[in-house]
Structure 1
């Protein structure tokens, strides 16, 4: 990756102000004039078209489980496009995608898109590209450590036709504790291009009350009209290190909803103590690892 340029202090100030505004102190519609009315949204007809959008940066050892789940448990009642943004600098992910590109899966179209690393590190950039260009009825903004296990997407395929909500989210995920690099499940994902199966005994349910992180399912009409934080220029600027994202809260703020809860079976999330996206041994890596352990112990997040 090229040397990191000097950060623009004004951009940092803008991000802080946007986080304040998105807390509800200013109406999001002031910043986004294109949000469609709920009644105007075109309901999907069966089979619905879904695009899942993932980003992967130094996560191939987890990402292989997501890819495996799509091959093993594709929906029979939905047309699925799986879009992945990655960087050629991440050799493990590039090699993994090259392998899966050759696998033909019913009702599934692979769409692997290489980005310059600084654009990849700002997830809102890739998500915005997909949102404005999608031809799908719905767009699921996911993370690469999600696993779509048996009947997860099949159930979603039954729920989407006829739905006119702006935003959906699964209200329950099955999540692991924070796994270390020596855990057998993570170890098995390293340097593997085989179809892998998770150990479901490691997962326990966790409830959610809003569309956040990897569980944002946006109506296609809203995606095409609004993009993904397209009206907030600061969230479309490349980053030169992986940072905590606040764009999901900004999206909810812009479109004026926390989302409508749905129930999906066997949606799994692999959680891990070592993020792998930060420089190992760096101060930020050590700090974030400590924070994750404290949060996991105190509030099960």
Structure 2
């Protein structure tokens, strides 16, 4: 298990986290805090058949996790082997029910790896990501979110792009995204019924481009992940939280690796954008505020 996960996040930790956010803006080289980072030339140039570990977290987002898991059934890779790790909490009954269903699905080249965590550890996403990074046996590890979907050809094209690659971090330079969906959209409502394998209609998605390896599209070299973990050297990001924490550690991870990531072409990586945040208490002030901010960003910046 990751270190410090039995500690409590304190007010002083909040101060440290803010200082790290400033440092990760470029004030200090991240490699000063990541002495375990290997030289790029030492990274193994893996050849096919590659192994990819996909890592996602799910807390009250089972309707989106369903589409991600379904995509590996509907579009099982042929050019690489996938270990799909999902971190979840036993207190999230809908997600438990969903994962129990997919455990019964036998898919060529896909291994399910569903790991229950105490919800306080789940709420700090870096804890599970760090655990997966340190323990992975894969050539590459894709840290993603449960609302990201791998449609036809995505993973097989990724295998071609990663063969022989010696980069710390890569990312798909574009995804296909929905509009910001309300909670009563049929795509969401249908996925809340009894678990089943479902497919997405690509006509509902349009292109969105990215300039760096943001949180759900961080694809790290396995050697770097095993050596450095996921913000393993930053103790504040390895402490449990009493509620879901905003993922500032995504930027810190790139900072520690000393790169924004190298863009690659990967088709049909889908992103289901949604206004409702299931991980926050519905109707609470923070839920209403975050939903308003998301809608404003979508209207002004298409984000």
TM-score (structure 2 length as normaliser): 0.96
Q: Which residue is 1:16 aligned to? A: 18
Q: Measure, in 2, the Cα distance between the counterparts of 1:40 and 1:190.
A: 46
Give yes or no for contact 2:9–2:239 (8 Å, CA) kept in 1: no
* Corresponding residue to 2:205 among 203, 217, 235: 203
1:1-301 correspondence to structure 2 within 5 Å = 8-301=10-303
Offset of residue 6 of structure 1:
8.6
Q: Measure, in 2, the Cα distance between the counterparts of 1:184 and 1:192.
A: 15
Structure 2 vs 1, CA of residues 188 and 231 (structure 1 numbering), >3 Å: closer, same or farther?
same
Decide which moves more: 156-165 or 217-226: 156-165
Runs of 4+ in 1 over 4 A off after TM superposition: none
Give yes or no for contact 2:24–2:251 (8 Å, CA) kept in 1: yes
Q: Measure, in 1, the Cα distance between the counterparts of 2:9 and 2:84.
A: 33
Offset of residue 7 of structure 1:
5.7
Q: Measure, in 1, the Cα distance between the counterparts of 2:38 and 2:186.
A: 47
Q: Measure, in 2, the Cα distance between the counterparts of 1:51 and 1:149.
A: 17
What is the SS of the residue equivalent to 2:211? coil
Give yes or no for contact 2:34–2:233 (8 Å, CA) kept in 1: yes
What is the SS of the residue equivalent to 2:51? strand
Give yes or no for contact 1:56–1:84 (8 Å, CA) kept in 2: yes
What is the SS of the residue equivalent to 1:214? helix
Q: Measure, in 1, the Cα distance between the counterparts of 2:224 and 2:206.
A: 33
Q: Measure, in 1, the Cα distance between the counterparts of 2:132 and 2:193.
A: 29
Offset of residue 158 of structure 1:
1.4
Give yes or no for contact 1:60–1:92 (8 Å, CA) kept in 2: yes
Q: Measure, in 1, the Cα distance between the counterparts of 2:24 and 2:102.
A: 39
Runs of at least 5 residues in structure 2 that lack an aligned partner in the other structure: 1-6
TM-score (structure 1 length as normaliser): 0.97
Give yes or no for contact 1:178–1:296 (8 Å, CA) kept in 2: yes
Cα deviation digits, residues 138-187 of structure 1 (max 9, x gap): 00001000110000001011121111111000000101111011111111
What is the SS of the residue equivalent to 1:126? helix
What is the SS of the residue equivalent to 2:270? strand
Runs of at least 5 residues in structure 1 that lack an aligned partner in the other structure: none
Offset of residue 266 of structure 1:
0.6
Q: How many residues align structurally?
A: 297
What is the SS of the residue equivalent to 2:215? coil
Q: Measure, in 1, the Cα distance between the counterparts of 2:119 and 2:40.
A: 36
Q: Measure, in 2, the Cα distance between the counterparts of 1:251 and 1:20.
A: 14
Q: Measure, in 1, the Cα distance between the counterparts of 2:163 and 2:275.
A: 38
Q: Measure, in 1, the Cα distance between the counterparts of 2:52 and 2:258.
A: 22
